[in-house]
Amino acid sequence: MTEIQLHNTLTGRTEPFTPLKPGEVRMYTCGPTVYDYAHIGNFRTFVFQDVLRRFLQLRGYRVNQAMNLTDVDDRIIANAAAAGKSIRDYTEKFAQAFFEDCRALSIETPEHRIRATDHIEDMVALIERLRANSLTYESDGSIYFRISKFPSYGKLSKIDVSGIQAGARVDVDRYEKESARDFAVWKAPKPGEHFWETRIGRGRPGWHIECSAMAMKYLGETIDIHTGGIDLAFPHHENEIAQSEAATGKQFVKYWLHAEHLLVEGEKMSKSLGNFFTLRDIFAKGHKPSAVRFEAGLADDLNTAQALAAAFDLVREANIAMDKSEFRKADAASVKAFLGKFDRIFAVLQDDDDEKLRALGYGGSGGPSNAEIDALVAQRNEARTRRDFAAADRIRRELADRGIIIEDTKDGGVRWKRK
């Protein structure tokens, strides 16, 4: 079995994957901030973590995954106040929409799907732990993380913080690398804002402390994999590392995976390695598509572009073979077996096997079902047998109007295909 290789943002290298505990993968995924409907760019990240999760499961790992919903941050506080709603009332609609969208995309539900607002106590406890280690300071009721106390600050995003003046602060949750400063782990309420009454005072958590507290609560102080969009690497993930490692003295995450890297690497590799040609060649020779080599495409840095290319090439080859009447029953079985395995990871094909082939390239969606076409073809055959050529032609035209081409083969049989 090919070793799993993952591109780790922390080291900047593609590395073999070894879990902390044999057979188990502890994985944290930054979920959506539910201040609005999630857009397609967000879902690319969620589809990628789902592909990773399914792939690890296929390789026999037990996956223990936590995904949070950020249901309190600057934007939510502002939007909820503007709408005159409580935070929970404001975010509920967007949280439900996210769950529905995940179902529509066949994204598996993680073992722990958790909300930030249900874990305020865990965040307060983590801030107390940081405070006890003199890693924080207070200003106007807000509490800030002192980045000068964490010498490896910047190791994920590779920013240089040497020129930053001690005590310079940033209050907003999202900011650019140029604004790297001591950041807020706890924010004092502005007039009219929602707040929690806690041991560390009135206020609300900063965005970054949410994920540190929840990841460690559900998965432990050191976890295998942390995923998220590349836009989260700074400041969000950098700050997660600082808070978690400063509190525990342990490495927080072994493998940091960011969705954009996976895509970029995948496209590069599909061009340079060209594994899919090998698969295509094997299939063109009439052998069973090599499921292992497929898996190799994925194992190599979760190379989805390469794996997808292999699947599409396979279907294209199958089409060409069918056009040449070279597609045998044995081939169909291999293609179905391959697509079955493919589907376990990508979950993009929901229908029966015949429909799966169709979904990957046999004409457009819609149109009559295979069963309906077969029935009409049988009626046409019957009409021809009784020499009712007018009826046979009518059925052929009806099918043509609905996008189905009928071809009579040399051996007296009939084939059909979608336009």
Among 25, 27, 30, 185, binds Zn ion (CB under 5 A): 30
Give residue for tokens 């572009």. 305
The alpha-carbon radius of gyration of the chain (Å, integer) is: 27
Neighbours of 285 (CB within 10 A): 7
Q: How far is the CB of 27 from Zn ion (least distance, A)?
A: 13
Residue 215 binds Zn ion (CB under 5 A): no
Q: How far is the CB of 129 from Zn ion (least distance, A)?
A: 19
**Only segment of 2-10, 24-32, 155-163, 245-253 that touches Zn ion (CB under 5 A):** 24-32
Q: Is the peptide bond before 189 cis (omega within 30 degrees of 0)?
A: no
Q: How far is the CB of 250 from Zn ion (least distance, A)?
A: 19
Q: How far is the CB of 30 from Zn ion (least distance, A)?
A: 3
Long-range contacts of 83-90, Cβ-Cβ distance < 8 Å, separation of 24 or more = 86/194, 87/117, 87/194, 88/117
d(CA 195, CA 186) in angstroms, rounded, equals 11
Tokens for 355?
Answer: 């429909």
Tokens for 1?
Answer: 């079995």
Nearer to Zn ion, 211 or 225 (CB): 211
Residue 27 binds Zn ion (CB under 5 A): no
* Three-class DSSP category at 227: strand
**Only segment of 99-107, 177-185, 210-218, 219-227 that touches Zn ion (CB under 5 A):** 210-218
In the chain, count H helices and then E strands.
Answer: 14, 15
Nearer to Zn ion, 30 or 257 (CB): 30
d(CA 398, CA 281) in angstroms, rounded, equals 38
Nearer to Zn ion, 243 or 304 (CB): 243
**Only segment of 110-118, 127-135, 151-159, 211-219 that touches Zn ion (CB under 5 A):** 211-219
**Only segment of 28-36, 97-105, 129-137, 169-177 that touches Zn ion (CB under 5 A):** 28-36
CB 130 within 8 A of CB 145: yes
Residue 241 binds Zn ion (CB under 5 A): no
Among 67, 116, 130, 211, binds Zn ion (CB under 5 A): 211
Residues forming the site for Zn ion (CB under 5 A): 30, 211
